[in-house]
């Protein structure tokens, strides 16, 4: 019986000091070697995971597993779009949005064990201009916080909350044009999946395989209203707030006066354009759940 090739792409920075070494040992101990022939590869720079994953596809590897946070998952996953190779995830990041959406265990040992009895699902992928995202992308306060957070040394949910609290008092609403109407918004989020990560459900009605993009617009809250919004965000009830608007579609356009700062799957990026087109690629990525 021929063993199935499976590559593990490890972000050695994600999860804290030496976390990747523990996970590699777990792979060696828990992965069923009667089924799989594992190869472990390490990323060395931003974008390296995409290059490694593309190499795996060219070599006919059937499963490529991202070990890291949402940024690593995005890098690996975008190389697998419209291929026969399945994406697996062992989550070690701060949010782990796609892993949570797919029901992948948060404990590395359990996530590895689940690969021994694989179930494959085919999901949609969305794009903001030409940039693929699997969970969410957007502009406004969330993109601003992602950019500030990316410059901090500390990771994790607590540090992100600190950034959000500090930046809330300084942030001014974003002026933009959406659906041919002028808006001043706190944030605009486009969801392929229902959450940012950490079970923060910003587009709670989104389904990852329904061929639709969900959009949640949040208007500028007061400090008191912000606390209520946070509660609703984690309870999955943010659309019940009178500060939100929700839309569904297969394409959205957004523009503003200045070039956009966006976030996609938690990663910030300053674009050289003031126009966004959010589109969807239906059923184009195989994932292990």
Beta-strand relationship, 4-10 and 63-68 = parallel
For residue 126, tell me if it sits in a domain. no
- Evaluate if residue 155 carries a pLDDT over 90: no
Cβ 66 vs Cβ 115: under 8 Å = no
What's the CA gap between 73 and 62, in Å, rounded? 16
What's the CA gap between 53 and 66, in Å, rounded? 9
Share of the chain above pLDDT 70, in %: 96
For residue 72, tell me if it sits in a domain. yes
Q: Count how many domains the chain has.
A: 2
Question: Any idea what DSSP says for residue 238?
Answer: G
Per-residue confidence band for 18, with pLDDT thresholds at 50, 70 and 90: low
For residue 277, tell me if it sits in a domain. yes
Q: Provide the whole-model pTM.
A: 0.93
In a shared domain, residues 148 and 274: yes
Look over the chain and give the mean of its residue pLDDT values, rounded to a whole number: 93
Dihedral over alpha carbons 81, 86, 91, 94 (to 10 degrees) = 10
The pLDDT, as a whole number, for residue 13 is: 78
Q: What is the CATH number of the domain that holds 223?
A: 2.60.200.40
User: Mind listing the pLDDT tens digit for each residue in 184-206?
Assistant: 999 999 999 999 999 999 999 99
Task: Choose the final residue of a domain: 66, 83, 118.
Answer: 118
Mean local confidence (pLDDT), 131-135: 97
Cβ 91 vs Cβ 69: under 8 Å = yes
- Evaluate if residue 146 carries a pLDDT over 70: yes
- Evaluate if residue 248 carries a pLDDT over 90: yes
In a shared domain, residues 136 and 278: yes
The pLDDT, as a whole number, for residue 2 is: 80
Give me the domain span that covers residue 60: 4-118
Helix (H, G, I), strand (E, B) or coil at 143: helix
């Amino acid at each position: 019986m021929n063993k199935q090739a499976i590559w593990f792409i490890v972000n050695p920075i994600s999860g804290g000091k030496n976390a990747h070494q523990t996970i590699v040992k777990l792979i060696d101990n828990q992965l069923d070697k009667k089924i799989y022939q594992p190869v472990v590869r390490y990323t060395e720079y931003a974008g390296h995971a995409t290059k490694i994953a593309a190499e795996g596809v060219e070599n006919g590897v059937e499963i490529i597993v991202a070990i890291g946070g949402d940024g690593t998952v995005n890098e690996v996953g975008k190389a697998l779009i419209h291929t026969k190779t399945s994406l697996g995830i062992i989550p070690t990041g701060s949010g782990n949005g796609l892993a949570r959406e797919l029901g992948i265990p948060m404990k590395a040992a359990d996530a590895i064990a689940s690969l021994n009895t694989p179930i494959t699902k085919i999901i949609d992928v969305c794009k903001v201009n030409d940039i693929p995202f699997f969970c969410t992308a957007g502009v406004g306060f969330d993109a601003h916080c992602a950019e500030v957070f990316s410059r901090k040394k500390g990771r994790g949910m607590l540090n992100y909350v600190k950034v959000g609290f500090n930046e809330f008092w300084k942030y001014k609403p974003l002026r933009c044009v959406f659906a041919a109407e002028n808006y001043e918004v706190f944030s605009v989020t486009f969801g392929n999946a229902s959450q940012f990560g950490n079970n923060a459900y910003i587009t709670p009605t989104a389904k990852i395989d329904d061929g639709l993009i969900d959009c949640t617009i949040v208007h500028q809250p007061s400090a008191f209203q912000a606390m209520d919004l946070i509660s609703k965000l984690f309870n999955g009830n943010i659309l019940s707030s009178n500060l939100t608007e929700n839309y569904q579609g297969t394409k959205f356009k957004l523009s503003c006066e200045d070039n956009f700062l966006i976030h996609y799957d938690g990663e910030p990026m300053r674009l050289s354009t003031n126009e966004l087109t959010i589109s969807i690629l239906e059923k184009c990525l195989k994932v292990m759940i």
